[in-house]
Structures are given as structure tokens and as C-alpha cells.
Amino acid sequence: MLDVEITRDEIHFGASVTVRFMRTLRVPIDGQEHPLPVDLEPFPIFRVEDYIERVPDSWRVCPGVFISVHPHEAMWISFSARPWKPNAVQIAVGSINALTGKPLGNHLTSDPQDYLVCPPQSALVGFSTAEGLVRQFALMSPATEEPDEARPASWRGLDSLLLTVSEPRPGRFRDRVVRKGRLRSSDCGGRSCPMTFPARGQIREQIQPDPYGTETWDLSNFGQVCVHMVNVATFLEIAGCEPPDCPLN
């Protein structure tokens, strides 16, 4: 099993993968296309176990972390990983696979690919719907969006994400860097992937194909974290203090 270490704004899965949750703007739901939102600082991360007496009962089943998201904010996920020994990453939104918009399975599939390989992938800006579009990671805004019951099934449960990082099988990659050098950016960073913003505030992104095959990944050797997104009022109730300042107004 991969050890999981949580700092103020990063989650470390062993020595393999570092995850950050980056602030950005919500794309307006106005039927128009929009430029790529600005990238901002990472969201601070708070441990569920530090507030275990105040969190919802459902969080105790899968402890993890939570972040406070303002109404005008959205989130994208940043991945940093070893270039010489990649990992497979699965992301679930509620019970839905974030890459396919279909129910989460217990194994990896390649057609359609329902997991990331990091590297080359270093970012995920949203989750897929059954229609093949991608919605931003953001809390539902009652003033601009339909009630949760009316949303398509693949849009529900957006306040909870489940990240699972699996190691490669032994012997598939070397265990350490042979030649010294700095980690270089992967081929598909947050802004290097071609993306468009079609109608109704939805987005498209490119998922890098797995160059190694599903049999490369050892699903029994993994680290897992639940990530809960909460609004300002819920954060205040759980933490007993105001959430971190938002850099946007």
C-alpha cells in the first residue's frame, strides 16, 4: 500500500505522485464559449480526522480531506509524478468515473480509457458526463443551475471526489533515476492540452492515452484519498473559523 501524506496544500502518495487542487474561475453558463480560466494558487487542504466530531457521518466512512470553495470558484487537479516510473490514477465523482461519465468499475479499461497515467498526464480540469462533455469541478450554484435531483446522474455527488493512485507492477520500470536531472514538465500540463469551451459552460480536454497497457498497473498496491468540497457556510460550521481568503472577488 502507498502511504498518503497530507500537507497544507498537497497530497503525497508515497514517493510517486503529488496532487494539488488549483483555484480557477467558474465558466459562465450563458450559452457562449469562453477563454480558458485563469490559474490561481492551490486550495488549502484540511484533514477530516482533525474535525472528526463535526463532519457529516458519511465522511467517516471514507476519511480524507476537505476544501472550501467559493460560489464563483472552480477547481482543477494538478499531478506531479516521477518521469521514470509512472502511476495509474483513477478519479471518481460520487459513484461515477470522472473520465468516462459511467459508473465506477473495479478494474481498469482502455476503451474508453477510464484512468490517467501520470506522467504524461499532469492535469484534469473537469469530469465527464454521459454525453461526452466535461463539467468543471465546482459546487452547484442554486442561482444558476438546476436542482441536484434534476441533473444527469453523472453530474451528481460533485461535492465528493475519490482519488486512487496505483503503482506499476514490479519490474515494469526502473526504481530510481539513472541520470541526474530535474523533473521536466509532462506533455500535457494544465495549459498545454488543447481545450475548448462549448455552450452552457462545459469544457473539453484531452486525456493522454496509456502507452503501457492496463496490465502494467498493480491495483493491489495503491493509495486512496476522499476529497470533499464544501461551501463557506459548511466550512465555518465544521472548522469553527472563517475559510481561507479567496484571491478573487
Tens-place pLDDT, residues 135-191:
778 876 544 444 444 444 433 344 789 999 999 999 999 877 555 443 333 333 333
> What's the one-letter identity of residue 27?
V
pLDDT computed for residue 167 by the predictor: 96
- Residue 137 in contact with residue 76, Cβ under 8 Å? yes
pLDDT, mean of residues 45-66: 90
Q: DSSP letter at 215?
A: G
pLDDT computed for residue 145 by the predictor: 45
pLDDT computed for residue 135 by the predictor: 76
Tens-place pLDDT, residues 84-93:
999 999 999 8
Q: Is the pLDDT of residue 114 over 50?
A: yes
For residues 26 and 167, what is the distance between their CA atoms, to the nearest angstrom?
A: 33
For residues 9 and 178, what is the distance between their CA atoms, to the nearest angstrom?
A: 30
pLDDT computed for residue 186 by the predictor: 33
The whole-chain average pLDDT of the chain stands at: 79
Tens-place pLDDT, residues 27-48:
776 655 555 567 788 999 999 9
- Residue 118 in contact with residue 86, Cβ under 8 Å? yes
- Residue 17 in contact with residue 186, Cβ under 8 Å? no
- Residue 78 in contact with residue 20, Cβ under 8 Å? yes
pLDDT computed for residue 142 by the predictor: 44
pLDDT computed for residue 182 by the predictor: 38
Domain range summary for the chain, segments of one domain joined by + = 4-179+191-239
Q: Is the pLDDT of residue 219 over 70?
A: yes
> What's the one-letter identity of residue 48?
V
